[in-house]
Amino acid sequence: MARIDFGGTKEEVVMRSEFSMAKARKVLKNETIAVIGYGVQGPGQSLNMKDNGFNVIVGQSKAFMPDWNRAVKDGWKPGKTLFEIEEACKRGTIIEMLVSDAAQRLVWPNIKKHLTKGKALYFSHGFSIVYKDQTGIIPPKDVDVIMVAPKGSGTSLRRNFLSGAGINSSYAVFQDATKRAKERCLAVGIAVGSGYLFPTTFEKEVFSDLVGERGVLMGALAGIMEAQYDTLRAHGHSPSEAFNETVEELTESLIKLVAENGMDWMYSNCSATAQRGALDWKPKFKKAVMPVFKELYKRVASGAETKRVIQSVGGADYKEVLGKELAEMHNSEMWRAGKATRSLRPKEPEKKGARTAKGVGGRQSN
């Protein structure tokens, strides 16, 4: 493992140069990886592994025809590489549990019966294992329990793979029954297209993930955007101006500078007026939201957020309720202005060779 200095703290990470694709193929040469669920993470992980030369099958219930049809459209063959969930679990030696968190407890009885000695149960989220009192998911003692959690959506995982880039992932071993759990875990992590892998635990992964999604990554970001947009509109700014100053400049300019070299570098490459204002107001925003983040972490650690997910997502009318909530966001003035703004962006020609399965995420990365 490489030891990297993260802000004064050295951490061990697994680079592709250390755990090559060739090594991953060797470790998994006798394994059949059954990807259960073809919704969010399933397509990206399964297609990346298939393109990288691993033996992959997909388990998806026909009861959810849109996901089944999507799998067929993506090239999975019914009866050959695409099966009902139980059949895929029976055939698989590494079973990837990639159905939604709320659905995992529902399909668990059909998966558990096929977890015979020596198999591996794989997750991309610590949810079901950490909150076992709510999910009822307790794996048999004679199977490996491992996790690789890509730090991005399944769409991003696949897109980065096709562009030749990897996406960072965390990994963890919860149960090592075969004494090969870590090796299997890292091999699958490389197979799905990780740029590098960093160690965590199931608990730390799910705590950080739930806080991140509700916080900076989605909840806080959307809330702050709406607050600024509404403030500008209330003071007479046009929808176009309010949206550009709130969202477009962030997503199309500033955040890309942060991604390249960090927030401090972005600050140093903005105007003196922007620098001064940002430095003055940053601590004010931190002070304002710190109590919210403390409350959020407490709810995640206590299991309250998990309970909320299971109860709401499991409701018979959840899709209808969700549709209304998303429609409200979609139809808001702010995001209607966003749609118009995006339509005015200059169209860039697709780069040659961008959509190939080679490069950092593909077969040539050995």
Residues acting as catalytic residues: 125
User: What CA–CA distances, in Å, run from 333 to 74, 218, 328, 330?
Assistant: 36, 19, 10, 8
Q: Where do we find the tokens 């019966």?
A: 113
HSE of 112, CA atoms in CB hemisphere, 13 A: 12
Query: Could you give the CA distance from residue 66 to residue 349 in angstroms, rounded to a whole number?
Result: 31
Query: Could you give the CA distance from residue 358 to residue 163 in angstroms, rounded to a whole number?
Result: 8
Q: What are the residues whose beta carbons fall under 8 Å from the beta carbon of 153, sequence distance 6 or more?
A: 40, 41, 44
6-35 exposure pattern, b = at least 16 Cβ within 10 A, e = fewer: eeeeeeebbebeebebebbbebbeebbbbb
Strand order, beta sheet including 82-83: 2-6, 9-15, 194-199, 167-175, 144-150, 120-123, 94-97, 33-36, 56-59, 82-83
Contact criterion met (CB below 8 Å) for 126 and 148:
no
Q: What are the residues whose beta carbons fall under 8 Å from the beta carbon of 358, sequence distance 6 or more?
A: 164, 364, 365
130-140 exposure pattern, b = at least 16 Cβ within 10 A, e = fewer: bbeebbebebe
Going by C-alpha positions, the residue among 36, 171, 57, 181 that lies closest to residue 118 is 181
